[in-house]
Structure 1
Amino acid sequence: MGKYRFETDEHSMFRDSLRKFLEKEAQPYYDNWEKERMIPISFWRKLGEMGFLCPQVDEEYGGLGLDFSFGVIINEELERVGTSLVGVGLHNDIVVPYIESFGSDEQKKRWLPGCITADVITGIAMTEPGTGSDLANVQTTAIRDGDHYIVNGQKTFITNGINGNLFLVVVKTDPKAEPKHRGISLLVVEEGTPGFTKGRKLDKVGLHAQDTAELFFEDARVPVANLLGEEGKGFSYLMEKLQQERLVVAIGAQIASEDMLEMTIDYVTSRKAFGKPVSSFQNTQFKIAEMATKVELGKSFLESLIEDHIAGKDVVTKVSMAKYWLTETARDISVECMQLYGGYGYMEEYKIARRYRDIPVASIYAGTNEIMKVIIAKNLGL
């Protein structure tokens, strides 16, 4: 696909250097990471050395002070390698911005430099075994006791749960608050905190190299100095930041669709059946034409959204549309492409098989597509 309208020569150079880096440091090892069910921390450190971790952070904390457009390029190029690299985008564009926006100067000095070098790898702990999309009903409590909060509860499906050592945890600091969302706060919990333990690495259908885990808090003592922003403001902070999280997921889905279309065109033009290329059959041509149209429409919609988001506009409704439509489109495309590959599409050595496994979860995480439709309907005044 073509470049975005906002891409300058600086963006192109950034993309080229990142692509070359990934060709050398990620692509040759990716299959192995999938087998080992882990992306090594050494790879995170190399990303940091090259300036690909949190480039948006202010220079005073060690960042490059770049805008989100560079984050878009990082997310795209990582997705081209494989979806198991989503933990990097989560760290760069989802968790660290909370520290940048709501952290005190002291907290920023403490955590941000490490986020840029991979000495600190972050995760966000929202989901619980009994609470997914219904954030106001989280059960994990943080009760003030002098200079500490005593945290009790359990979180699950936490991206970067194994490699991570700094977690933004959604807690109830006031379990009796009415309405419930007023009792929610954000607490930063560091690995090694007494009473905080990590559970097993969860075994997933796809995203095999991505470390997803459970987190447990049993009378965990977290310093009050680790409260992010104000007590009771957690819910509004989440609402403010979820737009970017959902945009990141939409970008990944779009790139997955582009990648699948590209590889399938290559495959059907080289593969023969009944003595001629599979691409010469009208059914193949129609399927490819339909998918190419969806990819093109998705790209245009996404580009306008990214531009609006960088300009600071409130595009929650459209982002919800993009997150829902692009992830479902990617899922449809994975099914169609696998079919066009025939039996080979079901073989692990072909990348389409991995795409087919990796894509469905994008309809679930960062707010399910059902929740996206609820948001869209509400904002349309229904």
Structure 2
Amino acid sequence: MIQDWHYRDPYTGKATTILKVLEFQALWRRIIDANQNIGVCFGMSLWKRRRIAAFFTTPPTHPPFFRQVGPAVKRCATQGRALVTWATRMPPTLAPQAQAAKVPVWRVEDGFVRSVGLGSGLQVPASIFVDQRGIYYDPSEPSDLEHILATVTFDSHLRERARLLIDHVVCKGISKYGRSEQGQVSEWGMPGQRVLLVPGQVSDDLSVVKGGGPVRGNLELLRAVHRCNPDAFIIYRPHPDVVAGHRQGRLPDKAVMAYADHISIGGSITDIMGQVDEIHTLTSLAGFEGLMRQRKVVTYGCPFYAGWGLTTDLGQVPTNRRQRTLLLEDLVAGALILYPRYIDPLTQLPCEVETVIERFNDMRLWRPTLLMRIKQLQGKIKHMMAH
């Protein structure tokens, strides 16, 4: 079977080895085994249910979708299985009812390498997190990601894979919502002046609500950055969901320019990261992406990447749980390799992060649907009305 047979990569169709095929099968087996413990999917938006079903399939079927807390908890309790729910759509009655019925609740969220296009624009995710302890953006309780970063032994093989992944992500301009087009280089500030990037966030995002600490919102963040760095050139970058008109958090230009020197809209944030000295953020994923690009990152809240010796932390970090100093490769291995699940948007098979990143090159897989175009038009109208 090793010498006389020929094997094809199920994702690319290219020739491969039996050892690589066994790695693929081991990955699929692990996911199927985990999915067998799921009784119900709860709180999943209609437009993403088909993709969620693919993530949680136990061939030839998948867990049913429920909209009512009582029946969902009852079914899981009867089967002795877990309930998976979208973390931001958990009703307040779910946790106490599940606890009373001794039903485990696993929280689901979008991954950090997600898609080409915005989730708020109805682009389905190619990666998710399934967290059995909590969720990565809530520092008030442990999460699977925090547990991974605090306990896993990152061997040389995993670190080398993470190092190659970092190189690829940086070279290709990969971010959560796709890849950059390598736009033009701009120069900001006076010679020798530090240039700071302040990424805005969605005002009602749970990462801000749960992890922001005393800093509440983009304007307070800008005020704090300006107060701590009065001589720096400050660039404010509104969140793409806000710019698209899909989410809350827009600030009037006049209010922003009271504390910033430039407002950046358009293009990719990863292009700007290569042209600044520091990134100052509340809990934005841009801080993690900045670390991969060797930028100094200052946190004012408590994002998942704070407290591991890689950032300057001005917020409150749970030092009792984050007592370890990590290499950048360790952080990337935990956040992009070990914690998420990925699915190949072409074959719909579970895959690794490297496969999803390669699919970012094929824009046919991310072509907007009619529903997405309607959502985009709606966002533009809301944005125009806001102005």
Q: TM-score, normalised by structure 1?
A: 0.31
More helix by share: 1
Q: TM-score, normalised by structure 2?
A: 0.31
